[in-house]
Amino acid sequence: MMNKVVALVRSSTGSATQEWRDAVWPHVEAAAQALTTVEPAVTGLVVSRVVKPFADNDPLMALIEVWGDDVGAELIGQTITLGLSDTENLNVTAATCSEIVFKEVRDFARDGSPWSIKLAGTAFRREDFEPDAFFDYWTNVHAPIGGSVPGVGGYVVSRAHEGQLGEESADALIAQWYVDEQAFNDAQSTEPAQAAWKDVGNYAMTTGTAFWLMTESVIIEPPVTGPGILEV
């Protein structure tokens, strides 16, 4: 069965600077490379580097996404942790997820791609929403609004099933791609973007979330998702 594992690599001290991220990045990238040797085999591997957190001193260093038949959060988390054992002040959490593809990812925010920036963020359901109802609302109501924001490339939600998506155990991770940071900033002042942010409180928590702008390094090209829900 094709799974996706999302791993968050954070500073264990509770805060991080961009200088620290730059210094630690080679170690994280090397630990991710070690995932190419695990069994069962990994069929997709992308490492995302935080270049701009939305909150000062945000502890996130990197996001590692792994696709494969029967890969799980425990194996991936342990392998990354082992690869980082010589690096101080890092903490790894991982969750086995399923992907909800709203707009197909046609390329990643890597060198030479038309998309240079990925927006990623955690999402938590409101307490009065059961998990299925939360994702049903997201799929049928919120995603058509958010997917209409000008400049959005791919639009994917990773729904957590097992493990821990961040220390706060988020319900999901959202990812969207933009041409560059300016395109992202310009989009935020548009009517669809304002409507999307306004709608969040109708089904999700509006506090406790974290968002980051990231660049990506593709170690193994992930499986093609095909057209997204909003594209068929």
136-177 tens-digit pLDDT: 999 999 999 999 999 999 999 999 999 999 999 999 999 999
Report the 10 Å Cβ neighbour count for 114.
12
Interval 45-71 mean pLDDT = 96
* Sign, CA torsion 228/165/96/33: positive
HSE-CB of 200 using CA atoms within 13 angstroms: 16
Find residue 4's DSSP bridge partners: 67, 97
Instruction: Please spell the DSSP secondary structure of 160-215, one letter per residue.
Output: EEEE-STTTT-SEEEEEEESSHHHHHHHHTSHHHHHHHHHHTTTB-SSS--EEEEE
Q: Which residues pair with 42 in a beta bridge?
A: 68
Q: Report pLDDT for 219.
A: 98
* pLDDT recorded at residue 194: 96
Average pLDDT over every residue of 108-117: 97
Q: What does CATH list as the number for 2-219?
A: 3.30.70.100
For residue 134, what is the enclosing H or E element?
A: helix 131-137
Question: How far apart are the C-alpha atoms of 227 and 232, rounded to whole Å?
Answer: 6
What is the per-residue pLDDT for 1? 62
